[in-house]
Structure 1
Amino acid sequence: MNNMTQAVHSQYIDTEITAESGLELLTNDEIQRLSAHTTGNDYELLKKCTLAVLNSTNITDDISFIQQQFDHFNIEVMQLNKGVKLKIKNAPSGAFVDGVMIQGLKEQVFSVLRDVVFLKQELETNSRIDFNSSSGCTNAIFHILRNAKALKPGVDPNMVVCWGGHAIPHHEYEYTKEVGYRLGLRGHDIITGCGIGAMKGPMKGALVGHSKQRITKGRYIGITEPGIIAAESPNPIVNELIIMPDIEKRLETFVRMGHSFVVFPGGVGTAEEILYILGILLHPQNQNIPFPLIFTGPTESADYFKRIDQFIGKTLGPEAQSKYQIIIDDPVKVAKRVQSGVTEVREYRKKVQDAYHFNWQLHIDWDFQESFDPTHQNMASLNLHPEQPLHLLAANLRKAFSGIVAGNVKEKGIAEVNKHGPYQLDGNPDIMDELDGLLKAFVEQKRMKLDYKGYVPCYQLR
């Protein structure tokens, strides 16, 4: 057994684990460079993301829960002739069974090391890859996925991206499981944001569907980023964890890897994802590319999608509304529509000779790729007026929601709001009225945070 437990306490455990996720095949020189990178800011990021993974058995989106453990938690990269060993001190005891780290969490810990540290030095030494241009971003994302062994050439399209909120009621969670089950029965693999709620449900349902069909190598891919992993720790079903540099690269990863998209009810994070994908689909260069997009939920969630559809119609218009289909309380219909949509994608990519495993054809503007820093100045400067191309308006609305997500659950965003007060958003009166109505609906429906009783808005609309 690879885990060697050194000490067991009532609440924390010290342990040593040996490398997986491809890091066991390193030269001594590579390991030395890897160890050298685990200092300063890189080390703090490694600690934070690893601790978030080990806390995944605790359901919370309060980053203070992890911050309280941070000073006592330590991780050290140790060099072995056969690879890498991690020495971990004061790991949460919930990550262990009888003193041995749960295998799935162990794999996720080394995924953190791979993406946060090892990939960083790879990108630094590869001058052909950069995040300062549109093509550079896409190439870097491809490199990250290839390094994570997430790209599977020669496999027919079957990846379904499922988006939705982490703070959802039980009946919505059960519905996501049922949709996932129907997708799993049809052999589809699942990609989500890797957290709980509408991210965990489809994976759990698909796992049962795969088991019934005797599919033993089902893929449950969780894509996250350092700013949000502490608030949305990976759920235990994720068997491929990928950490992207920021939210924009995370979103592009979804659309490059996915073959069909299902959106469940959620909050501002889900609205951000919807506006991101609609902004891309509204670009003139993407008009003829098949892109199955379905909004779905149980009967009780019909008003939620009615409100989302109204917001899209009033801000982006009928063209944006034509890009998706709303299916209420019919998991089988959703799965069949996904199936037919994936077939359309397969035929299109075969026709244009595009890869099945990575969507190179889709055009993504720099506005959707450049990292958006939600400072008060940047939030107040957003162009929320209709006198601009629709896809750019969608990009700016996406950034507004991204900032609210940061103010709700991200460490840096929370610090900004605590220091300077709520974000100020200003724009066209009609757009601001629609935005105000949608955000108030999210608050009333308890979709902002798990701790909805104590929720204080991190934004003000003018």
Structure 2
Amino acid sequence: MSESTITALVSPEGSLEILSNHEVNRLKDKSEGGLYRLFRQCALAVLNTGVETDDCKALMEMHADFDVRLVPQPRGVKLELINAPAHAFVDGEMLRAIREHLFSVLRDIIYTHSIPETVPGFRRDNPDDITNLVFHILRNAGVLQAGRQPDMVVCWGGHSIGHSEYQYSKEIGHQLGLRGLSIITGCGPGAMKGPMKGATIGHAKQRVRNGRYVGITEPAIIGAEAPNPIVNELVIMPDIEKRLEAFIRCGHGVIVFPGGVGTAEEILYLLGILLHPDNADLPFPVIFTGRPENAEYFEMIDKFIRNALGDKAAEKYDIIIDDPVRVAQTMKKGMKEVETFRRAMQDAYYFNWMLKIDPVFQLPFDPNHATMRALELHRDQPVHLVAANLRKAFSGIVAGNVKENGIRQIQEKGPFEIAGDPTLIKPLEAMLEQFVAQDRMKLPGLQAYRPCYRIVSGAA
């Protein structure tokens, strides 16, 4: 390895329950059913906080000799890190933020896998059980704070963005911070880091001492999008579907910056849920925003949404170009509407229990060559199912781009094939081509993008 490494014994920082012998054994277990490999992968990603890479497989191979071992103590547990990246340390001491994140990983992996085993009758395919699992993971992580008024803004956008787009996202965060609003993102770089960094300055100016910078990720993506240094609350959800549900259950509004397939997946997930009849009167502010040169980008997104989901879907969001103050003011106003509605309905501020999420958006989608080819991308189905299946198409491309398992599948069997109704597929293909042309698929300069998908003619 060209990079220097350190071997160290690390004590807990942040929240961590004492581990049982059973939990310790599962974390040590390197078999298929054990948690060792999952924990090692997430721990390595956290140790690379601030490093620009979006290839989980390459990260694992680069640090093939990294190991993590549990050292039981009378009053808890320590971690022995072997050949850990040296940039996670200063003068031999691990950075405090990284240490907090490391034990957040341990906390969430243990808790996520213990709930199904300890809750009688828990079913992984039951919508209520899934939502309760999301709730309990967030509560265990300390994300859900009773008595706090709605102030959590979910910021979505690309990890691969230029300097001017990053600066714009930072200014949006600054204006949000000046108004006392906090930030939730996918915890990575780019448009996930910018709003958090800007909000820290806004909070400092207003002497906001309880500003929150929540990063929500999942094991398959964390290696491609390691937590940025601003995140002060990290949560590892079990999969992308529960990660997306966590965003909109604990967030009170969404701001979308320019991005690629991951951002498109998030948009389709959100709109598919907001279009459900049960959510028709539920206030949930959504804003698409960017610099003047991003106007065409959002025209493309808006056109794609109207074609795929209809004009009613476009009523669920505002497009505001080059006006950070207006974006923040609009979001702040939306927060007041959310607060008034929740109070009138006696719903919690900290978790959106009233939001109806169809099971099709909750059940995990395993992208592989067969499932991607079999996606029902046609109009002969309810509009929320159109959104759900398009969301899966984008999710599969995300997997092929940056997730270790997806990358391996593409290397072994070639690109995923995507087929369906030409009226859906042709606009999808055109948008993907624009993402590639604008360097929104991979971090620029690291490697040339090779498509992990192929659009084919004819329905699946």
- TM-score past 0.5 threshold: yes
Task: Give the C-alpha shift of residue 158 in structure 1.
Answer: 0.3
Equivalent residue, structure 2, for 1:218: 211
State the SS of the aligned residue for 1:433.
helix
| Contact 2:115–2:133 (CA under 8 A) maintained in structure 1 | no
Cα distance in 2 for partners of 1:282, 1:245 equals 26
Aligned to 2:333: 340
- 1:33 and 2:27 equivalent? no
Aligned counterparts of 1:117 and 1:85: Cα–Cα separation in 2? 15
Query: What's the CA shift string for 1:178-201, capped at 9, x where partnerless?
Result: 000000011111000000000000
Q: What is the CA-CA distance between 1:326 and the residue it aligns to? A: 0.2
Conservation of the 8 A alpha-carbon contact between 1:57 and 1:94? no
1:198-347 to 2 correspondences below 5 Å: 198-347=191-340
1:190-248 deviation per Cα after TM superposition (whole angstroms, max 9, x unaligned):
00000000000000000111111111221100000000000000001101000000000
Taking the aligned partners of 2:111 and 2:347, their CA distance within structure 1 comes to 29
Q: Could you tell me how far apart the structure 1 residues matched to 2:87 and 2:350 are?
A: 36
Q: Which residue of 2 aligns with 1:459?
A: 453
Shift of 1:149: 1.1
Structure 2 contact 112–238 (Cα < 8 Å) conserved: no
Once residues 221 and 375 of structure 1 are traced to their aligned partners in structure 2, the CA distance between those partners, rounded to angstroms, is 31
Distance 1:129 1:172 in 2: 44
Contact 1:57 1:95 in 2 (8 A): no
Task: Confirm or deny: 8 A CA contact 1:262 1:295 kept in the other structure.
Answer: yes
- Matched position secondary structure for 2:191: coil
- Mapping 1:351-366, distance limit 5 Å: 351-366=344-359
Q: Is the 8 A contact 1:35 1:77 kept in 2?
A: yes
Q: Deviations over 1:342-397 (max 9, x none)?
A: 00000001011100000000000010000000011111111111111111100000
In the TM superposition, 1:365-384 aligns within 5 A as: 365-384=358-377
| Contact 1:276–1:368 (Cα < 8 Å) also in 2 | yes
Are 1:129 and 1:139, in contact at CA under 8 Å, matched by a contact in 2? no
CA distance in 1, matches of 2:317, 2:429: 23
Amino acid at match of 1:448: M
1:85 aligned residue = 78
Task: Give how far 1:78 is off.
Answer: 1.5
1:57 to partner: Cα distance: 2.7
Within 2, Cα distance between the matches of 1:194 and 1:56? 10
- Given that 1:131 and 1:140 are in contact with CA atoms closer than 8 Å, whether structure 2 keeps it comes out as no
> Per the alignment, in what secondary structure is the counterpart of residue 454 of structure 1?
coil
Deviation at 1:140, TM superposition (A): 0.5
Q: Could you tell me whether the CA contact under 8 Å between 1:46 and 1:117 is conserved in 2?
A: no
- CA deviation digits over 1:89-148, x for unaligned, max 9? 111000011111000000000000001124312432222544221111000000101111
Matches within 5 A, 1:84-233: 84-127=77-120, 129-233=122-226
Instruction: Return the letter of the residue paired with 2:9.
Output: E
Separation in 2 of the partners of 1:171 and 1:86? 40
Deviations 1:158-178 (Å, cap 9, x if unpaired)? 000000000011100000000
Asked whether the equivalents of residues 129 and 140 of structure 1 are also in contact (C-alpha less than 8 Å), the reply is no
- 1:35/1:143 Cα in 2 relative to 1: closer, same or farther (>3 Å)? same
CA distance in 1 between counterparts of 2:375 and 2:3 reads 49
C-alpha separation in 2, matches of 1:235 and 1:143: 25
Letter in 2 for 1:31: S
Amino acid at match of 1:33: H
One-letter identity of the residue aligned with 2:64:
D
Considering only aligned residues, what root-mean-square deviation do their CA atoms show, in Å? 1.3
Distance 1:136 1:118 in 2: 15
CA distance in 2 between partners of 1:73 and 1:139 (Å): 35
Q: CA separation in 1, counterparts of 2:393 and 2:251?
A: 25
- After superposing on structure 2, the runs of 4+ consecutive aligned residues of structure 1 that deviate more than 6 Å are none
Kept after mapping to 2: 8 A contact 1:223/1:241: yes
Give distance in 1, aligned partners of 2:168 and 2:3. 37
SS of residue paired to 1:198: helix
The range that moved more, 285-294 or 115-124, is 115-124
Q: Deviations over 1:13-68 (max 9, x none)?
A: 11111123322x52xxx432221111124101100100001011321112244222
Once the two structures are TM-superposed, the CA of residue 10 in structure 1 deviates from its matched residue by: 7.2
Contact 2:184 2:214 in 1 (8 A): yes
Retained in 1: the 8 A contact 2:55–2:404? no
Once residues 443 and 145 of structure 1 are traced to their aligned partners in structure 2, the CA distance between those partners, rounded to angstroms, is 35
Aligned ranges 1:416-431 → 2 under 5 Å: 416-431=409-424
Counterpart code for 2:449: Y
- In structure 2, C-alpha distance between the alignment counterparts of 1:343 and 1:103, rounded to whole Å: 35
8 Å CA contact 1:173, 1:201 repeated in 2: yes
* TM-score scaled by length of structure 1: 0.95
CA distance in structure 2 between the partners assigned to 1:422 and 1:11 by the alignment: 35
* Whole-Å separation in 1 of the counterparts to 2:37 and 2:155: 30
Q: TM-score under structure 2 normalisation?
A: 0.96
Q: Kindly tell me: are residues 351 and 417 of structure 1, through their superposed partners in 2, closer, same or farther at Cα, counting changes over 3 Å? A: same
Alignment partner of 1:12 out of 1, 5, 8: 5
Sort the Cα spacing of 1:130 and 1:143 in 2 relative to 1 into closer, same or farther, 3 A: farther
Distance 1:71 1:443 in 2: 30
CA contact (8 A) 1:21 1:148 kept: no
Q: CA deviation at 1:451?
A: 4.2
Give the number of aligned pairs.
450
Identity %: 54
In 1, are the aligned partners of 2:224 and 2:403 still within 8 Å (CA)? yes
